[in-house]
Amino acid sequence: AQKVTQAQTEISVVEKEDVTLDCVYETRDTTYYLFWYKQPPSGELVFLIRRNSFDEQNEISGRYSWNFQKSTSSFNFTITASQVVDSAVYFCALSAGGAIQGAQKLVFGQGTRLTINP
Amino acid sequence: GAVVSQHPSWVICKSGTSVKIECRSLDFQATTMFWYRQFPKQSLMLMATSNEGSKATYEQGVEKDKFLINHASLTLSTLTVTSAHPEDSSFYICSAGGGRTEAFFGQGTRLTVV
């Protein structure tokens, strides 16, 4: 069965610091997808990134970057020069839909509550 | 990306009453939709898979008679919480697939049962 572990329950840093959110996953599927979502206090899920299992290239988008390492089953997320607006709960998720539903069905990690202090 | 609309955004109901939550795919057809539940400060847990024209598939531990799911069209799935009780107070969020590679989430519904 698929499983996602986000060991960091809460992280608090001062603005402008860099912060890394860890994500470790388990799956027996050879083809799978990994996601990161941001959940602000309003509750909606904001899509940040999708990565498939065949693409291990790291990705950078502005202040955000992701490090995908299949060897350690990790998909870590780094925010550089953090800002107060980055404060939210961040979820890592793994596709659990198998061959038919693919990434339509997701398994979520426990989430990391990130607080950026001014 | 595709748009999934969920309604209402929040609802307060009395204990013992039923509440219906709608999930619509606005610009694509979705034969399958998913319903998740999130208790305060917890993760999102899949409740059920809603299948157009057939019965929903419920995850272990989810009462199908309490959480009624209807997926009567390719753009609409509804979740009805029957005889709601305070312990059903939660954040409910739906998603619809955009092909095998992604899912689009609704805005979520915050249910409070008093």
Confirm if B108 and B23 have CB atoms less than 8 A apart.
no
Within 8 A of B110 by CB-CB distance, chain A residues are 43
Mean pLDDT of B56-68: 95
Rounded CA separation B19/B100 (Å): 31
- Omega before residue B8 within 30° of 0, cis: yes
Within 8 A of A108 by CB-CB distance, chain B residues are 43-45
- Give backbone dihedrals phi and psi of A116, rounded to 5 degrees, phi first: -105, 115
Cβ neighbours of residue A107 closer than 8 Å, sequence gap 6 or more: A2, A3, A4, A93, A94, A95, A96, B46
The candidate with the shortest Cα–Cα distance to A50, out of B28, B4, B101, is: B101
The candidate with the shortest Cα–Cα distance to B50, out of B84, B23, B27, is: B23
pLDDT at B87: 96
pLDDT at A103: 72
Picking from B32, B42, B45, the nearest residue to A101 by CB comes out as: B32
- Beta-carbon separation of A104 and B105 below 8 A: no
Segment-wise mean pLDDT, segments of 10 residues, chain A, 118 residues:
95 98 95 94 92 89 96 97 97 86 87 97
pLDDT at A56: 87
Confirm if B43 and A108 have CB atoms less than 8 A apart.
yes
pLDDT exceeds 90 at position B68: yes
Picking from A43, A52, A104, the nearest residue to B97 by CB comes out as: A104
pLDDT exceeds 90 at position B72: no
Picking from A33, A44, A105, the nearest residue to B107 by CB comes out as: A44
pLDDT at B38: 96
Strand partners, B49: B34, B57
CA distance A58 to chain B (A): 19
What's the distance, CA A26 to chain centroid?
Answer: 14
The residue that leads in pLDDT, B100 or B21, is B21
Distances in Å between the alpha carbon of B63 and those of B48, B76, B77, B113?
A: 10, 21, 18, 18
